[in-house]
Amino acid sequence: MSHEAKTNYIGGKWTAAQAGGTFKSVNPARTNEVIGVFARSHREDVEAAAAAAQAAYPAWRRLPAPARAAILSRAARLLEERKDAISRQMTREMGKVLTEARGDVQEAIDMAHYIAAFGRMPNGSLVPSERADIFCAAKRVPIGVVGLITPWNFPIAIPSWKMFPALLAGNTVVFKPAEDTPGLAVTFVETLIEAGIPTGVVNLVTGFGDEAGAAVVESGAIPVISFTGSTEVGRRIAARCGQLMKRVSCELGGKNAIVVMDDADIELAVKGALWSAFGTSGQRCTAASRLIVHRHVRSAFRDALADRTRALRLGDGLDPSTDVGPVINRRQLDRIHGYVDVGRAEGARLITGGAIVSDDPLGEGCYYSPTIFDEMRPAMRIAQEEIFGPVTGIIEADSLDGALRIANETGYGLSLSLYTADVRTAFRAMEELDAGIVYVNLPTSGAEIQLPFGGTKQTGNGHREAGWMAMDYCTEWKSIYVNYSSSADLVRAQIDTVEN
């Protein structure tokens, strides 16, 4: 990629920011390695992108859905061909280990194939009328220009969750990716261009949240916003969208937990906890930052988990022997360490990790040692607030009821998991865990795209991504009535069709 900061894609052209500003993206494994220089966009760039998207909308909306789907199918094939290169680019730009980066790209491939199939699926329903010779149907229709504001932790998968359904439904798009992963957004858009996306249907503006992102939210030409990020920012976006009467879908924080009951397969639970706590260096919204363990098995579980955690190898995610890569940037590194200090001060017992790694060569990057607290209590801040780093803690429970109550006692509700060998316990968990996603004998990460993804409480605002409802956020329902009677009588619903 050599765009020389011409990284905005507006109306079919790669351009620089109008004001000429730029910013750099760096490799978190070695922050002196610059990945690229990108357009630092402001309101005028976003308005140009929104105007291009508006201009492209009528023709795109009228294109038959199977033709729109064919472009997504081609995008799926191109992503498959480029999976290796894109995955390497991802590891360099945001640090996750290569196998996980490959999973991220695969999630977008799966989503493209899945959504493309909707191009030939029913998109509405035919219903009876209470009146003779009246045709009644309801169909999904696109809304217009959809604004997508996406995070850096799944830089290919999450844009695909948002963009592919929007496009299939007939909307056009303004895409504002996180400032930590603009290079991957450029690659994503390049792939769509090659797949045949028409001019103006997908527009990219790179830059910062409070500049370009805020302008997407404010734009009068963008009636729908989909945002993934922190609850704090999501609350501000949703409030503003409320004032502007915009449709807004928010996918926000999590404080996910794994419950380990005393009859659980401890080996399986330890593997699950290790993956959910430290996969992607804990930077998943599905990361397990609470481990609620029955007191009968707590020491066995804790000791096994601590041993495995100490054996994890930190390093550059491109090195095949690396288990845990860097975190995204120095600001996050300091924030994570701040939470570890909070945990210590609150009286949780640090049993491993708890440090910024400063020895060379890792000191050149943003590495945090995988961290476990024991004796965490449910009311502690480290048990309530999203840390978004490789930090987890063990909370002891003494019964199923107690464990379920603790699991539910946070402001979030994305992903909760329970390990047990008892089918009755499993069904209680499925019934009572208050979250958008519940796992039994599986960790909190690992959602598949054909199921809805999203959470309860402050994790979101009631929307779901992926799954068969992926199109809900970006479509309206239109109800249609047609009178084909040859009579000249007006027949009124609810009045002429019943005895009055």
What is the smallest separation between the CB atom of 107 and ligand UN1, expressed in angstroms?
A: 6
Q: Is 488 exposed, middle or buried (0-12, 13-18, 19+ CB in 10 A)?
A: exposed
Pick from 27, 89, 153, 206 the residue near ligand UN1 by CB under 6 A: 153
> Is residue 251 annotated as part of the catalytic site, yes or no?
yes
Residue closer to ligand UN1 (CB basis): 172 or 283:
283
What is the smallest separation between the CB atom of 154 and ligand UN1, expressed in angstroms?
A: 5
285 binds ligand UN1 (CB under 6 A): yes
Stretch that binds ligand UN1, among 17-25, 200-208, 219-227, 441-449 (CB under 6 A): 441-449
What is the smallest separation between the CB atom of 447 and ligand UN1, expressed in angstroms?
A: 3
Residue closer to ligand UN1 (CB basis): 118 or 161:
161
Among 47, 100, 107, 251, which one carries the catalytic annotation? 251
Stretch that binds ligand UN1, among 20-28, 173-181, 282-290, 471-479 (CB under 6 A): 282-290
Q: What is the total count of residues that contact ligand UN1 (CB under 6 A)?
A: 9
CB neighbour burial string for 336-370, b if at least 16 within 10 angstroms, e if fewer: bbebbeebeebebebbbbbebbeeeebeebbbbbb
Residue closer to ligand UN1 (CB basis): 286 or 309:
286
> Is residue 285 annotated as part of the catalytic site, yes or no?
yes
402 binds ligand UN1 (CB under 6 A): no
Among 250, 285, 366, 474, which one carries the catalytic annotation? 285
446 binds ligand UN1 (CB under 6 A): yes
Pick from 42, 83, 162, 284 the residue near ligand UN1 by CB under 6 A: 284
154 binds ligand UN1 (CB under 6 A): yes
Interface with ligand UN1 (CB under 6 A): 107, 153-154, 284-286, 445-447
Q: Catalytic residue positions?
A: 251, 285
